[in-house]
Structure 1
Amino acid sequence: MLFLVAAFLLLGVLVGPPAHLPPAVSLTAAAVIAAWLLVFAVRERHRRHRRHS
Structure 2
Amino acid sequence: MLILVAALLLLGVVMGTVAHAPLSFTLVAAAVIGVWLAVFALRERHARRRHTSTN
Task: Provide the TM-score with structure 2 as the length reference.
Answer: 0.78
**Equivalent AA in structure 1 for residue 43 of structure 2:** R
* CA RMSD in angstroms, aligned pairs only: 1.9
Q: 1:4 to 1:36 in 2, by over 3 A?
A: closer
Match of 1:13 in 2: 13
**Equivalent AA in structure 2 for residue 11 of structure 1:** L
Task: Provide the TM-score with structure 1 as the length reference.
Answer: 0.80
Runs (4+) of structure 1 exceeding 3 A deviation are: 2-8
